[in-house]
């Protein structure tokens, strides 16, 4: 059950990241990166396992990668500008840091 909860929390963090990263640049991006790293770290802190953090990180990655692909009418939720590319690159970096930090 904890794996399901960690997957759902990671997906919700990803959805929040997609919708908030472009608001009020660059503060929206910074907020999203800090919130993502803190949320993933707190999952491991609460349930005491790196496997739960990895599960949440996989869910975050799946949501943000899907948002970077074109939708039905060729719309992108994460555009190819500097903010969108920074979300993808720095987001994965913050996930790696959050997973590797000790609980």
CB 14 within 8 A of CB 64: yes
Give every residue of the chain whose pLDDT is below 50, as ranges: none
Residue 45: the pLDDT is: 93
pTM for the complete prediction?
0.94
Of 1, 103, 97, residue with least CA distance to 57: 97
* Spatial distance between the Cα atoms of 103 and 100, rounded to a whole number of angstroms: 9
Residue 75: the pLDDT is: 87
């Amino acid at each position: 059950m904890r794996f399901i909860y960690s997957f759902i929390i990671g997906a919700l963090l990803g959805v929040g990241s997609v919708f908030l990263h472009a608001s009020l640049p660059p503060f929206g991006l910074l907020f999203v990166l800090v919130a993502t790293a803190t949320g993933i770290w707190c999952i491991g802190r609460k349930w005491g396992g790196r496997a739960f953090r990895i599960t949440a990180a996989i869910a975050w990655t799946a949501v943000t990668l899907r948002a970077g692909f074109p939708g039905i009418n060729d719309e992108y939720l994460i555009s190819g500008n500097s903010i969108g590319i920074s979300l993808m690159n720095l987001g994965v970096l913050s996930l790696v840091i959050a997973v590797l930090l000790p609980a």
